[in-house]
Chain A
């Protein structure tokens, strides 16, 4: 199977954000993103787009604005889209699908409501569920620890028990996201992959820390990973994703090749 490069946008209250160790810095609204980054063009070089609601406990009004802005953004983007963040019930997930999601992103709810992921699977299939796991590297021999609620609550050590539970769950894929590496551009936490057994049943993707094309190539070269997720707006928009994709393809990594075509002929 081809590897994947996924770009993630972080959204809250009508704006998109840069994140560093889960501290958010506003960069602009949907028009700003379109006008300053040529966002439609950039998406020619990604396999999937993810738009993550990074507000803790978003209200229905928050979701309404989120979907309105996504509608604007989607007008010139033709790739599979994952929506989510703050999904607490089937209705939240259903609204994401109705507003253009191919997959929904589940995070905190996975630990708090064991039935939700089963319900989404029953209605939309496991292929439509992406589980994101945020973690921090703790000192004092605690190893890596899962954090929930936008990285604010310490949940559980990332150990074999949790990994086995994830492996046997109804999600279709798993993204592990390092809060320590998030937004640093300093490289990814590949050591976290050692925690996952070779017989882990889900496609595994890594997020947090990619800052240059070489980081993306390095991640895609890992047998355990089916893809990489980056939310690093400033490092990868413009020509960054095109350069990263071409560098990976030229090094022999199996990635889909997307043609540049003139639609006016």
Chain B
């Protein structure tokens, strides 16, 4: 699609200001979307999110976002989940009670191990070892991105292109399959590398 239009999904889970700010800075057309009846107008969707896996899924399901997103992706729309938004792309989360996710990826979202040197939440800049796919174009391997989370995908049940980060243990910090992408980190708060990541997503 030559004309890019980015929709940021507002399902009541999180602050959208920084994501909008980043996309505006990159000079793309961006809109917050609360209803999912005109998704075909958007070339790219971003699913942000803070809070628990269970609360996030309940909110998505209550507005039928689960079905709408499946249809959107089947129609080859590009979808990026950020932080909780990435976790929700998986089939299962244990936070706040066992919950089925959106099932774009097979893997479980579970609590990170914690030791005195590695308190939870994992907050701050940490490096991502990535797969050099096109979303990482011109971003060096092991670049630093901003993380805030306690739960993560530790193991994948199928093979996907992914990136990893270490914090007390290795976890999946980035994943992609076809037109669906997920970032455990916050690119919108991660300096120029984060902006480049968002730009590369929109240029997919």
**Residues of A in contact with B (beta carbons under 8 Å apart):** 1-2, 4, 43-44, 47, 74-76, 78-80, 97-100, 102, 125, 127, 172, 256-263, 265
B190 partner residues in chain A, CB cutoff 8 A: 78
Q: Known contacts being A78-B189, A80-B146, A97-B15, is A127 close to B194, with CB within 8 Å?
A: no
Q: Known contacts being A259-B192, A260-B192, A261-B138, is A127 close to B148, with CB within 8 Å?
A: yes
Q: Known contacts being A44-B191, A261-B193, A265-B138, is A2 close to B126, with CB within 8 Å?
A: yes
Nearest chain-A residue to B127 (Cβ)? A256
Q: Are B121 and A125 in contact (CB under 8 A)?
A: yes
Q: Are A78 and B125 in contact (CB under 8 A)?
A: no
* Secondary structure dominating the interface of A: loop
Q: Are A258 and B146 in contact (CB under 8 A)?
A: no
Q: Are B192 and A102 in contact (CB under 8 A)?
A: no
Please provide the chain B residues from 159 to 204 with a CB less than 8 Å away from any CB of chain A in the complex. Answer: 188-196, 199
Contact with A along B133-172 (1 / 0, CB 8 A): 0000011100110101000000000000000000000000
Q: Known contacts being A2-B126, A47-B124, A78-B22, is A256 close to B144, with CB within 8 Å?
A: yes
A259 partner residues in chain B, CB cutoff 8 A: 139-140, 143, 191-193
Nearest chain-B residue to A126 (Cβ)? B121
A-B contact pairs, 5 of them (CB 8 A): A1-B124, A74-B21, A75-B25, A102-B148, A259-B193
In the complex, how many angstroms separate the beta carbon of A210 from the nearest chain B beta carbon? 20
Nearest chain-B residue to A255 (Cβ)? B125
B146 partner residues in chain A, CB cutoff 8 A: 79-80
CB contacts between A and B, total, < 8 Å: 82
Nearest chain-B residue to A45 (Cβ)? B191
In the complex, how many angstroms separate the beta carbon of A30 from the nearest chain B beta carbon? 15
The distance in angstroms between the C-alpha atoms of A1 and B143, with both chains bound, is: 15
The distance in angstroms between the C-alpha atoms of A147 and B41, with both chains bound, is: 56
The distance in angstroms between the C-alpha atoms of A153 and B77, with both chains bound, is: 58
Q: Judge whether B113 is part of the interface by a CB distance below 8 angstroms.
A: no
Q: Are A263 and B195 in contact (CB under 8 A)?
A: yes
The distance in angstroms between the C-alpha atoms of A256 and B124, with both chains bound, is: 9
The distance in angstroms between the C-alpha atoms of A260 and B138, with both chains bound, is: 11
Since A100-B21, A260-B192 are in contact, a sample of 19 more A-B pairs with Cβ atoms closer than 8 Å, ordered by chain A residue number, is A2-B126, A78-B189, A78-B192, A80-B146, A100-B18, A125-B121, A172-B123, A256-B127, A257-B144, A258-B191, A258-B192, A258-B193, A259-B143, A259-B191, A259-B192, A259-B193, A261-B138, A261-B193, A263-B195
A4 partner residues in chain B, CB cutoff 8 A: 124
Q: Judge whether B32 is part of the interface by a CB distance below 8 angstroms.
A: no
B15 partner residues in chain A, CB cutoff 8 A: 97-98, 100
In the complex, how many angstroms separate the beta carbon of A127 from the nearest chain B beta carbon? 5
Contact with A along B1-32 (1 / 0, CB 8 A): 00000000000000101100110111000000
Q: Known contacts being A47-B125, A263-B26, is A78 close to B140, with CB within 8 Å?
A: no
In the complex, how many angstroms separate the beta carbon of B114 from the nearest chain A beta carbon? 12
Q: Are B199 and A263 in contact (CB under 8 A)?
A: yes
Nearest chain-B residue to A1 (Cβ)? B124
The distance in angstroms between the C-alpha atoms of A227 and B57, with both chains bound, is: 36
In the complex, how many angstroms separate the beta carbon of B49 from the nearest chain A beta carbon? 14
The distance in angstroms between the C-alpha atoms of A161 and B37, with both chains bound, is: 58
The distance in angstroms between the C-alpha atoms of A262 and B199, with both chains bound, is: 11
B191 partner residues in chain A, CB cutoff 8 A: 43-44, 78-79, 258-259
Q: Which 8 A-B pairs have the closest CB atoms?
A: A256-B125, A256-B144, A261-B192, A100-B17, A258-B191, A127-B121, A261-B196, A80-B189
In the complex, how many angstroms separate the beta carbon of A6 from the nearest chain B beta carbon? 11
Q: Are B143 and A78 in contact (CB under 8 A)?
A: no
In the complex, how many angstroms separate the beta carbon of B190 from the nearest chain A beta carbon? 7
The distance in angstroms between the C-alpha atoms of A47 and B125, with both chains bound, is: 8
In the complex, how many angstroms separate the beta carbon of B145 from the nearest chain A beta carbon? 9
Q: Known contacts being A1-B118, A259-B140, is A99 close to B192, with CB within 8 Å?
A: no
